[in-house]
Structure 1
C-alpha cells in the first residue's frame, strides 16, 4: 500500500514528541493543551493517559480524515476559482482607430491582470489559509491562536521554496523560462518580504506581545498599497515620466530604440527565437504610437494564426473541422492562462475530471454539430414546394435555333401536383423578328423535379447589337388527389407551394454576324486568398463568328507576382461561335487575418486566328447578300416599269438620283442609276460599270473591317486579394474560445451534476515537450480513463455532488458562485482547524508545528500541481514565480490583517488588550525572511547566462543546484521552527 509509510512516521513523531516533552521544562512543550473540544467537532474521549499505539491509531484516522477534507477543499476551491475566472475575465467591446485602416471593434478585459492576480486570484488560491486565520480567532473568542498565523507563514515557505524548486526541475533541460514582467515581480517580492518583516515588528518591536488597533488596520491597509504599486509598475506610469532617451515611450510600455536593449527586445527571451509579430504591428509599430488594446489584440491574434500555419504545415491534407479543433486545443494550451485556470485544471485532473480544455472543445463542437443537424431537420420539415428557374440566365447565339429553359421544383409534401403558367416578354429583343413568343402551362407531377420550356431564336444576316427578352412564371396552382385545382396559399393557412425567386429568366441573344467585342466581366474583382485560384471570364458580345486569339498578361500592383499570385502571360482562343473563355490565375494563400493586396490583368488587341481566310469568308457572304439585293432590285424595277405604262411610277429616288429633267430615260440607264444608289454609288448615270465594280469591292472591305474583333468596355481588371472570411471567422472563434472563462464556466445545475458523475481521462503528458504536435496531444487525450482516474473519481464523488449544488458561474456574472463557494470553504476550513488541532493532540504536535507542516502542505498541494503545469506550458515564468510572491504578501495583509483587526477592535470595545505570544511565530517569521531574501536573490541570479539564462529550466546541473538549495532552505525552516517550538533551541 502506498500509505503504509504513514504509520511508521506517525509513530516516530509520537516517540519524538514524548521524549521532547519529558526532556524539557519549557511550558510551551506541553502538547496536551490541544486536546480540547473544537469549534465544531468535540474531542475524541478519553484523551488522557493513552498508550503509544492508541495515539498512533487515532492520529492515523485523523490524518486520513484531514486529507479527505483537504480533497474537499480543493474541489470547492475549484468552483470558487471558476467563479473568480468568470468575474475577472469579463470583457467589453471597444472601437479603436487604426491609421490607414478602418476602425476595428475588439474586446478587452475589464480587469487588469496584475490587479486580478493580487486580489481575487490570490484570495481564491489562499482562501483556506486566510479563512483559517479569521475563523480561528473568532472561534477562540477573539483570542490569538497558533494554527492560523503559522499556517500562513508555513504555506508561504512551502510556496516560495518547494513550489519554485519543483517548477525549476519540471521545465525540460533544453528550455528556459524567464519572467516577462520582472518589474512587477520585484514589487511583489519586496512586499512579500516586507509583510513578514512587518509581522515581526508588530509582534516584538512596537508593542511586544500585544496587537493594537492601528497595527491591525495598517496591516490590512498594506493590501491595497501592494495592489496599487503593482498596478503602477505594470502600467509603467513612473517610467513614462522619468525615462532615459534611449527608450521610446508608448502608452503600452517601453520600446528600446538604440543600444543593446534593442537587440534584447528583438527576441522573446525563450531560446533566442524571434517573436512572431502581426503585419499591422510591423507596418505601424516602428513609426507611431500604437493603442495598447490594438497591440495586445494583434499580438494575440498573430500567435493564433502562426499556430494554425504550423498545424497545416505538419498535416497539409487535414480536414478543416479537425484543423479547427486541433488549432483551438493548441492555442488554448499554449496561450496565456490565469492562475485560476491552472488551479482548476490541476484539481480536476487529480479527481478524475479530465482535461477541461479538451472537454470544452468537444462540447463546443458537439453543440455546433447539433445545431447543424437541427437546421437540416428544420429544412426537412419545410412543407412548402418551391418553383423557380434553374438557372435564371441564358446566353445563346442567334443561330442556336431551339433551346430549352429549365424550371426546377424543390421541397413540398409528397404526392403533390403543381401547375404553373409561363409566357415571354420583350426586352430589347422583339418577338417575331428576334424570337418566337411562347405561352403555356407546365405540370409538375409528384415525381417531377424539372420541366423544360422550348424557345426558338430567329436567325438573320444583319449586324445587330446583343438583345434580350424575358420568360416569366405566373399563376401557380395545386391539383389535389380528387382532381381539384386550388390556390396553394389557402390550404391550412400555410402555403404548400409558391413561386420562388428567380421567377423570371433572362435570355440574351448574341449576334453571330460579327467577330465579336471582347471584354472582361468587370473592371474590379475581389478574390479570397484561400480560393487557390480564380477564373476571370472574358465575354464575347455582338457576334461570335470566326476563331479569335486574345493575348493577356498579369501586372503587379501592391501584390507581387509569384509571391502573392502566379504571374501569367498567355493567349485566350475563342473558337467559332464560342461566347466566353476564362483566364485561370493562381492565388497564393499567405493566411493573413487582414489583407488588401491588388494586381492587374490586361487584355491585348484581339486578332484573327486565320485572318485572310476569315476575311474571304466575310467577303463571300457579303457577295451573296449583294446578289440577293440585286435580284430583289431587278424584280422591283420590272414591277415599277409595268406600273409606269398605266400611271406615274411610285418608285422615286429623290432629286439627286432622278433629275426632274430626265424624261424619256431608257430602262438600262434607269437600272444603272438605281443599282448605284443601292450600293452607295454617286448616282451619276454617266459612270461605267468598272467604277461600280471598284466601289462594290471597297464597300466589302469596309464592312469586313467593321466585322473584325475588337476590345470592349473593360480591357483591364484590378484583382484585389482579400482575407479569407472563413479563416478570419475561425480565428475570431478561437479568440473567443480561448477565453478561459468559457473553459471553466458552467451554465446550469444539470451540467454541474453531469460533470460530477462523469469520469474522464487524466493528463499524463505534463512533463512532455510543449512543442509536440497538437494532433498527438489530442489523440492521447482521447484515451480511456486509467484505474487511478476511476479510484479518485469514486473517492471524490461525495464532494463533487455536494459542491454541484453551488450556483453555476453564469448566474449574476459569477458572483452567486463566488459567495456560496467561499461560505462552503469557510465551513470546511473550520472543520480542518478542529481536526488539525486534535490531530496534534494525538501525535503530540504543537499547533505551530502542525500548521507549518501538515496544514500548510495540504492547502498548497493544488497550487503545486497548478504551478508545475504552468511552468511547463507557459512561455514565461510569471505564472509560476510571480504569483507565489504576490500571494505570500496578500496572505499576511488579508489573513492576519483582518483577523487581528477584528480581535483588536473587539478587545478595545471590552476594555481589554489583544495579546499575542510573539515567541514561536516571531522566530518562524525571522527565519523565513532571511531565507526568502536568499531564495529571491538566487531566482534573480538565475537569469544570468552563466547560471542558466532563466529562472526555470536550463541545463541539468543548474536545475539540480537551484532546486537543491531551495529544498534545503525549506527543510531547514521546518526543522529549526519545530526545534524552537519544543524549546530544543532558544527562541526570541
Structure 2
C-alpha cells in the first residue's frame, strides 16, 4: 500500500496523498449494462456491457433524431397511401333524383362518406399505429408487447385531448363550427369509449392476464359493427316502427312496405329523410347557389374579364372553400411540413382542366343533337323555305349536292299544290336537274301568277325525287309562300309564347305581315312587366317598327339583363298597337275608303276592310326568360367536379419525381416565393421524397396498386420505428409503455394535428377535424389490437398454449383514457347549447377554458400513466 501511495504521489508530481476513495481518475465516466435485444429489423447497438454514461446520452440522441426522421418518412409514405385511398373512394356514379316533380341526373360518390371515413380513411391515418401493433406481435414470436398497444392508446389520448383542444382554440373569435353528422359522431364516440372498456374487460375481468381466441375475434368483429351502426345512423334508417313491420328501402331511396308479391309506397313526412338521393340533391343545390354567388361577385370585381376566365376563378374559389376529405388535409399538412408547398397551383390547373372538359362535353352533346350528315353523295334543297310576292313574276329554287362531287348526278323536281293552286296562283313545273362532274349546285325557275283579287297568303311545295348517282337528304321538300301585294296586310306576332335564355343578350322579337304587303306601314309597340321587372331582368322598350312597301317581317330588339341565375323563370309581355299607313295620299285614301264602307253591304264592307292595314289575332306576346341551358349545364358539371381532394392523386412517375425534387412555398399565397426555411425542410426530407416517388402513381389500376405498395412501405418503415423506439427506451431506461404513449404516439400523430387544425379553420363544419377522431380511435383498437391479438391467440392455441397479456400499465391507461374521454364527449355536447353554439370556437373565454381543460386531461393522463408504470402509484 505504501508503494502504491508513493507511486500515486510520484505521478501527481509530489502532491499530497489522497484517501483511497478519492483516487478515481478525473476522466472516469460511470458505466452500466444495457438490457437491449435485437429488433425485427435493427440489431442492438453494441456493446451493451459497461457502456459509459456519455455514450448512453449520445446513443439516446441518435435514436431520438432517428425516430424524428423516421416519423417524417412514415408521414410521407402515408400520404401516398392516403392519395390512393382518396382516388378509390372518389369513384362516382350517375343517379336519377326526382325533385319538385322533375327528374334530374346528378353525380354522386360510390363510397358513402361515413363508410369511407371509418374504413379506408381511418386505416390511412392510423396505419403506422395499427401496423406497429401487428409487427410487434410478429417480431416477438407472437408474444405480447407494450409498444404497439401503448402507441394505440397513447395516440387515442393525444387525438381526443390535444387535437380537439387545438381545434377549439384556432377558430376565430366569435365563430363556431358544429358537427354536421351528430348522430354518426355520437355512435363512433360510444364505440371509441367502449373499445377501451372492452380492452379492460378482456384483460382484467373476463379472462385476467389472458386473451382467448374468441376475445380477439370479437374485438376484430367490433370493427364492421362500428361501420354498420355509423352507416345506419348516417342514413337515418334505424327506425323501429319501420324495421319491425318489414319495411324496406326501394331503389329510389323511399320506404316501402313489403306485403305479398307487391309493395306499398309510404308517404314520408318532411322530417323523415329516408330518400338518400334527395339529400344528395340538396347538397348539389347548395353548391350551385354558392357557385353562382361567387360567380356574380367575381364578375362585379373583374368586369373586364371574359366569362370563361371568371368561371374558372369561381371554380377555383369553390374548390378552395368547399369541404375536403381527411386525406386532402393530411396530405396538405405533410407537404407544408416538408417544403412541398400547398395545392393552390394544382387547384388552378384542375379548375382550368375541368372547365375546358365541361365546355367540350356540352358542345359535343349539343352537336350530337343535330342530324348526322348522310354518308356518300346526296342532294337537297337549300334553303327549304321561300317567301315571294305575288307580283315577283318568277323566282329561282336552289338544290345543292354534298359529299363526293365526282361523276354525274340527276334528280327530278316537281311542284305540288298546297293552298295555292297550279294554274291560278302559280305555273306548275317539273323537270330533271343534272349535276356534272364537280358541280355542287343547280337552280330551276318557278313562275308566280299575279292578279288583282285579294287573297290570304297561300303556299305550295317543291319536291325532289328519283335521284341517280346520289341519295336524297333532308330537306327534300321546299315550301313556297305567296304573299298578296294588293293590300296593306295584317300585323301580328307569329306565336303567343316565346322562351329565351337570359344569356341571349339582345333578343329580336319577330313581327310578321301577312295577307298583303302593299304600302309603308308603322306599328307601335311597348313592353309590359310581368314577374320580370323592367330594369332588373330586361330593359323597357317602346316605339314604332316601320314596314316598307313589300316588306313582310320586322324585329323588335329586346335587351335581356343577364344575372347568372341558375333557375330563373320570369315573364314579361310585348304589345302591338294598331298599324297605320304612312304618307298623306295613303292616309287620305284610307279616310275616303272608310267613309265609303258605310254605304256598302256588310259582306262587301268586310272585303274592303281587308285591304287596309290591321292588327292580327296575336298582338300580345308573352316572353319567358329562363336560365341559359349552357350555363345551367356548366354549373351542374362544375359543382359536381368541385372537389379539391382528388387533386392529391398523381398520374405519372414523372409528376411524382418532379414534385419530389422541387421545393415550393408553404404559404397559402401561390405567388409567394419559396423561403429559405422551405428549402431547408425540402433538403432534409429529400431522401424520403425520392424513395417514395417510386411508389406507383394513383392513376394506375384505379389507385389499388398504389394502395398495396404504400401499405407495404408503411409496414417496413413502421418496423424500423418499432425497433428504434424500443432501443431508444432501453438505452435511456424508459419502459416501452411510456415510450409508446409519449414519443411514438406523439410522432405518429403530428401530421394529423396540422391536418385537423387546417380543417377546423377552413371547413364550415367540425366533422373533418373532430368528428373523425372518435371513429379513428375505435378503428385503431378493433383493427390494430384485434388483428394482432387474434393472430397471436390462434398461434398459441395451435401450440396448446395460452396467450398471456399482463394488464400492467395498459389496463390503467385504458381506465384513465375512458374516464377522461367520457368527460370530453360530455363537454362537446354541452358546447352545442345556444350560449356557445358549436363544438369548436365560440366566445374567447369559453375557447380558452375548453382548450386548457382538454390539454390538462392529456397531461394528467401522461403523468398518472407514467407514475403507474414506474410503480410510484398503484395500478390494477
- TM-score between both structures, scaled by the size of structure 1: 0.70
Cα separation, 2, equivalents of 1:367 and 1:218:
47
Cα separation, 1, equivalents of 2:97 and 2:354:
33
Whether 2:296 is the aligned partner of 1:312: answer yes
Whether 2:848 is the aligned partner of 1:978: answer no
1:339 is aligned to 326
Give the drift of 1:759: 4.5
Cα separation, 2, equivalents of 1:443 and 1:803:
70
Cα separation, 2, equivalents of 1:457 and 1:506:
14
2:508 is aligned to 535
Cα separation, 1, equivalents of 2:441 and 2:621:
38
Q: How does 1:318-467 map to 2 (within 5 A)?
A: 318-356=305-343, 358-363=345-350, 365-366=352-353, 463=454
CA separation of 1:929/1:367 partners in 2, compared to 1, >3 Å: closer, same or farther?
Answer: closer
Give the drift of 1:569: 6.6
Cα separation, 2, equivalents of 1:104 and 1:500:
35
Give the drift of 1:188: 1.8
CA separation of 1:499/1:787 partners in 2, compared to 1, >3 Å: closer, same or farther?
Answer: farther
Q: How does 1:562-641 map to 2 (within 5 A)?
A: 572-587=545-560, 589=562, 591-594=564-567, 598=571, 601-609=574-582, 613-616=586-589
Give the drift of 1:127: 0.8
3-state DSSP of counterpart to 1:309: helix
2:631 is aligned to 727
Preserved CA contact (<8 Å) 1:404 1:454: yes
The CA deviation string for residues 641-680 of structure 1, in whole angstroms up to 9 with x for no partner, is xxxxxxxxxxxxxxxxxxxxxxxxxxxxxxxxxxxxxxxx
Give the drift of 1:574: 3.2
1:828 is aligned to 717
3-state DSSP of counterpart to 1:32: coil
1:83 is aligned to 84
Preserved CA contact (<8 Å) 1:79 1:817: yes
Give the drift of 1:165: 1.4
2:283 is aligned to 299
Cα separation, 1, equivalents of 2:446 and 2:583:
34
3-state DSSP of counterpart to 1:106: strand
Cα separation, 2, equivalents of 1:556 and 1:930:
68
CA separation of 1:464/1:360 partners in 2, compared to 1, >3 Å: closer, same or farther?
Answer: same
Give the drift of 1:137: 0.6
Give the drift of 1:535: 2.3
1:525 is aligned to 498
Cα separation, 2, equivalents of 1:441 and 1:343:
74
Give the drift of 1:304: 2.7
1:182 is aligned to 182
Give the drift of 1:230: 2.4
The CA deviation string for residues 597-648 of structure 1, in whole angstroms up to 9 with x for no partner, is 555545454344568733528989xx9xxxxxxxxxxxxxxxxxxxxxxxxx
Preserved CA contact (<8 Å) 1:516 1:542: yes
Cα separation, 2, equivalents of 1:218 and 1:149:
17
Preserved CA contact (<8 Å) 1:399 1:512: yes
Cα separation, 2, equivalents of 1:366 and 1:901:
48
Preserved CA contact (<8 Å) 1:346 1:866: yes
1:954 is aligned to 842
Q: How does 1:778-817 map to 2 (within 5 A)?
A: 780-817=669-706
3-state DSSP of counterpart to 2:41: coil
Cα separation, 2, equivalents of 1:459 and 1:798:
94
Preserved CA contact (<8 Å) 2:320 2:347: no
Cα separation, 2, equivalents of 1:539 and 1:754:
66
Cα separation, 2, equivalents of 1:287 and 1:67:
51
Whether 2:737 is the aligned partner of 1:737: answer no
Preserved CA contact (<8 Å) 2:521 2:613: yes
Give the drift of 1:833: 0.7
CA separation of 1:65/1:399 partners in 2, compared to 1, >3 Å: closer, same or farther?
Answer: farther
CA separation of 1:385/1:342 partners in 2, compared to 1, >3 Å: closer, same or farther?
Answer: farther
1:105 is aligned to 105
3-state DSSP of counterpart to 2:174: coil
1:155 is aligned to 155
Give the drift of 1:143: 0.8
Moved more, 331-340 or 904-913: 331-340
3-state DSSP of counterpart to 2:211: coil
Q: How does 1:627-666 map to 2 (within 5 A)?
A: none
Give the drift of 1:286: 5.8
3-state DSSP of counterpart to 1:315: helix
Preserved CA contact (<8 Å) 2:377 2:402: yes
Whether 2:164 is the aligned partner of 1:164: answer yes
Rg larger in 1 or in 2? 1
2:51 is aligned to 50
Preserved CA contact (<8 Å) 2:354 2:638: no
Give the drift of 1:138: 0.7
Preserved CA contact (<8 Å) 2:174 2:844: no
CA separation of 1:444/1:610 partners in 2, compared to 1, >3 Å: closer, same or farther?
Answer: farther
The CA deviation string for residues 386-412 of structure 1, in whole angstroms up to 9 with x for no partner, is 999998867666778999999999999
Moved more, 524-533 or 189-198: 524-533
3-state DSSP of counterpart to 2:34: helix
Give the drift of 1:874: 1.3
Cα separation, 1, equivalents of 2:59 and 2:401:
83
Cα separation, 2, equivalents of 1:352 and 1:175:
31
Whether 2:114 is the aligned partner of 1:114: answer yes
Preserved CA contact (<8 Å) 2:155 2:741: yes
CA separation of 1:388/1:823 partners in 2, compared to 1, >3 Å: closer, same or farther?
Answer: same
The CA deviation string for residues 745-782 of structure 1, in whole angstroms up to 9 with x for no partner, is 444445444544455443x34xxxxxxxxxxxxxx334
Cα separation, 1, equivalents of 2:389 and 2:676:
76
Whether 2:831 is the aligned partner of 1:904: answer no
Moved more, 286-295 or 513-522: 286-295
- TM-score between both structures, scaled by the size of structure 2: 0.78
The CA deviation string for residues 117-139 of structure 1, in whole angstroms up to 9 with x for no partner, is 22222111111101100110111
Preserved CA contact (<8 Å) 1:515 1:707: yes
Moved more, 587-596 or 431-440: 431-440
Preserved CA contact (<8 Å) 2:695 2:710: yes
3-state DSSP of counterpart to 2:38: coil
Residues matched between the structures, number: 806
> Which sections of structure 1, spanning at least 5 residues, go unmatched?
1-21, 23-29, 244-248, 255-283, 475-486, 490-497, 624-693, 766-779
CA separation of 1:451/1:934 partners in 2, compared to 1, >3 Å: closer, same or farther?
Answer: same
Cα separation, 1, equivalents of 2:803 and 2:383:
91
CA separation of 1:462/1:883 partners in 2, compared to 1, >3 Å: closer, same or farther?
Answer: same
Whether 2:192 is the aligned partner of 1:192: answer yes
The CA deviation string for residues 48-99 of structure 1, in whole angstroms up to 9 with x for no partner, is 4333433333333333332222222222212222222233333333334345
CA separation of 1:697/1:197 partners in 2, compared to 1, >3 Å: closer, same or farther?
Answer: closer
Give the drift of 1:160: 1.0
Q: How does 1:737-756 map to 2 (within 5 A)?
A: 737-739=641-643, 742-756=646-660
Q: How does 1:215-234 map to 2 (within 5 A)?
A: 215-234=215-234
Preserved CA contact (<8 Å) 1:147 1:833: yes
Query: How large is the Cα RMSD of the aligned pairs?
Result: 5.0
Q: How does 1:869-884 map to 2 (within 5 A)?
A: 869-884=758-773
1:141 is aligned to 141
CA separation of 1:596/1:982 partners in 2, compared to 1, >3 Å: closer, same or farther?
Answer: same
3-state DSSP of counterpart to 1:83: helix
3-state DSSP of counterpart to 1:518: strand
Preserved CA contact (<8 Å) 1:132 1:833: yes
Moved more, 67-76 or 810-819: 810-819
2:614 is aligned to 710
Give the drift of 1:299: 3.2
CA separation of 1:465/1:816 partners in 2, compared to 1, >3 Å: closer, same or farther?
Answer: same
Cα separation, 1, equivalents of 2:133 and 2:787:
9
Whether 2:486 is the aligned partner of 1:513: answer yes
Give the drift of 1:705: 2.5
